[in-house]
Amino acid sequence: MSNQLHPAVLLFGTPGVGKGTQGKLLGKIVGFFHVSTGDIFRGLDPNSEEGKEVNEVISRGELVSNELTVKIWKTWLDAQIEGATFSPDSEVMLLDGIPRNVVQCEKLSSIIDVQRVIHLCSADEEEPIIERIKHRAMIDGRPDDADSNIIRRRFEIYRQQTSPVLDYYSDDIVHQIDPMGTPAEVLKRILERVIPVLQAVRGRDFDPHIEDVLQEEQGQEGAA
């Protein structure tokens, strides 16, 4: 990886607030590149030393160590750049699941330039969110999300370790977004904040064909 700082948008919020859903939708827009640390972890060889360690930690609802998280993340990102899956000169990274604490913010400061922090702020009580996560676990086949005690542990870690990330970055780039409504409605709110970042990278005349993604999502919602 070069010494170039990669422009990035951080998707932030409590477990189950919709970061992954919005990350996937934004990733369909030309010029954005969705990076899900959870997907990276799940893609590890479960029989490898790293895969075994990550799975053991995640199964307890804990955070993988900073050193191992950043190592795995950097190795994956280097591979995307080398394989031309990600073009750092023309794409903005959408970070989902990293940085998860202030130490990771510091470790990544020589790699990424965080342009926006999209904080999905849910007013929902914790228990309804836990039930939604458990329901998602049954659909997606993710056993680590099916245990209420593990999910509650993740909320505790979020409050203790992850929420201080919001104070690490300047208030000027932290944007509070209401996550209530359909995915397409939430996406529109986020786009108002992040399109200027994309235009700064690709030029103000660049057309990311946002309407195509919105129409596709609205069509799927209407068919559901």
In sequence order, the 6+-apart residues with CB closer than 8 A to the CB of 116 are 9, 10, 173, 175, 193, 194, 197
The answer to whether 127 and 42 are in contact (CB under 8 A) is no
Superfamily of segment(s) 6-223: P-loop containing nucleotide triphosphate hydrolases (3.40.50.300)
Query: Distance between CA atoms of 179 and 196, rounded to whole angstroms?
Result: 20
Alpha-carbon separation of residue 122 from 25, 94, 128, 178, 191 (angstroms): 19, 20, 11, 7, 18
Query: Distance between CA atoms of 2 and 208, rounded to whole angstroms?
Result: 26
In the chain, what are the domain boundaries? 6-223
Q: What is the chain's length?
A: 224
Query: Distance between CA atoms of 142 and 19, rounded to whole angstroms?
Result: 16
One-letter amino acid for residue 145 of the chain: D
Tokens representing 77 are 């990102």
pLDDT tens-place values along the chain, 224 residues long: 446 799 999 999 998 888 999 999 999 998 999 999 999 999 999 999 999 999 999 988 899 999 999 999 999 999 999 999 999 989 999 999 999 999 999 999 999 999 999 999 877 667 777 777 777 767 776 766 677 888 888 899 999 999 999 999 999 999 999 998 899 999 999 999 999 999 998 887 877 778 878 888 877 776 66
Nearest CA to 31 out of 222, 195, 168 is that of 195
